[in-house]
Amino acid sequence: MKSLLSLLLLLSLFLVSPSSNVAAAPDEVKWTRVNIPTEGKAGNWVLADGSDIQQLTMAPDGTLYAYGEGLTYTLYQSSNGGYSWSYLSNVSDNIVDIAIAPDENNTIYYATSSNVYKSTDGGRKFKSLPANPGGAGSNNIEITSIAVARLESNIIAVATRDTDIAQFGGIYLLDEGQMIPGWANTALGNYDAFAVAFSPNYPADRQLVAVVTGGTDTYVTTKIGTAGWGTTIGNARLDKDNSGIPTPVAVTNSAAIAFPSDYDASSADYNLFIAIDVGSNNGDVYRINPTEAPGNSSATDLNIGTDYGLSNVDITGLAVDGNGNDAILLAGAARSAQIYSSTDGGRDWAKSRKEPTGGSKTYVLIAPDFSSSGKAYVATSGNESAISISRDSGITWKQLQTIDKLSAQSEIEL
């Protein structure tokens, strides 16, 4: 009996025990830790890891555009205030800037380091404008900024820099109304240009504004009509911390230009604001007060981080609402996701009490109804980068899009 029981036990063990020579499944199930999007189920729990949101831009009708660096498709649009996004025309380029025609919401331009592309149908199809303005894309020349204005046709401005030592970029214009459009050199001189913008009143004043550097100093320079740069309005030289010596500061990464609501180049008393990212936290926001040439315009370092022990702060994004002397300003840091705000034209500054998610390169926009709604938008790069919104003039920010980028669930072709 004992032998029979032993035999039965041995057989049962053989039947229920796995064979010792059966290999484990090659695709073994295992858990991986991920960050959950704040939208959760509403966002379909989708991550798009490895991308950053940059070049946040708004059309006149409030439609938002952004560059999703690191994604398969890179140009995105939101028509509902940033709550959902769709990619445009299978664009997969590395985008350095985005611009929208001032009176044509469906006319979109974007620039790579070497070319400018245009869509007239809301981003369904893009075509290249004449290639390589100023030689961009060769000999270390690259596009840094684009802008669009409207006369009888759209006028495109492109800023370039040359990364070679003692070599310089320039600013080039293209009039799309010409029979054979081509890029015209505006003769900037020995400068690299990091930002270019048309005056809000360009059809009347024909003014272009640019932030440029010759390698040591940074200048804000203007061009009116066919006159040369700095010949009608004197150049403003940036003086770090208003030292009076002056102390040079040279932009190396990016610059931004913002015009207050009462900007009027024909007035004797007007101002504008610029911000620079130097790359070593020696940038800041400056107020520019123009002076008729041959005098020099003045640049005042607004020292936005002084109350927080920061003599200077590199800035990526800058937005303004209201008249210059009492304007509300929002400045987005380049080395963090912090937003600095001023409600008195830049005299006093405060940090956001709740900053947007993200780690760097903070692009900021003010909504068209900002004065009544306090609504503003931010796009950030780095860890937990996202689109965020503020409804209290930049004091607190709430994330709209998924953590660490534009989600794959939004990649729906128009």
User: What CATH number has the domain bearing residue 125?
Assistant: 2.130.10.10
* Residue 232 falls inside a structural domain: yes
Name the residue with tokens 């800037």. 97
**pLDDT for the residue numbered 265:** 85
* pLDDT of 41 strictly over 80: no
- Between 107 and 245, the more confident residue is 107
**Structural domain that includes position 68:** 39-410
Rounded Cα distance, 82 and 58, in Å: 11
Structure tokens at 282: 């020696």
Q: What is the DSSP string of 176-208?
A: TTSSS---EE----S-EEEEEEE-TTHHHH-EE
* Residue 30 falls inside a structural domain: no
* Residue 164 falls inside a structural domain: yes
Rounded Cα distance, 283 and 387, in Å: 24
Q: What is the DSSP string of 332-367?
A: EESSSS-EEEESSTTSS-EE-SBPPSSSEEEEEEE-
* Residue 10 falls inside a structural domain: no
* Residue 13 falls inside a structural domain: no
Peptide bond between residue 60 and the one before it cis (omega within 30 degrees of 0): no
Structural domains in the chain (count): 1
At 273-301, the pLDDT tens digits run: 999 999 989 999 999 999 999 999 999 99
- Between 221 and 409, the more confident residue is 221
Q: What is the DSSP string of 273-286?
A: EEEEE-SSS--EEE
**pLDDT for the residue numbered 410:** 43
Q: Is 18 exposed, middle or buried (0-12, 13-18, 19+ CB in 10 A)?
A: exposed
* pLDDT of 113 strictly over 60: yes
Question: Please, which pLDDT band fits residue 405 given cuts at 50, 70 and 90?
Answer: very low
**Residue 396 backbone phi and psi in degrees, to 5:** -130, 150
* pLDDT of 316 strictly over 90: yes
| pLDDT-above-90 percentage for the chain | 72
* pLDDT of 89 strictly over 50: yes
* Residue 304 falls inside a structural domain: yes
Q: Which pTM was predicted? A: 0.85
* Residue 383 falls inside a structural domain: yes
* Residue 21 falls inside a structural domain: no
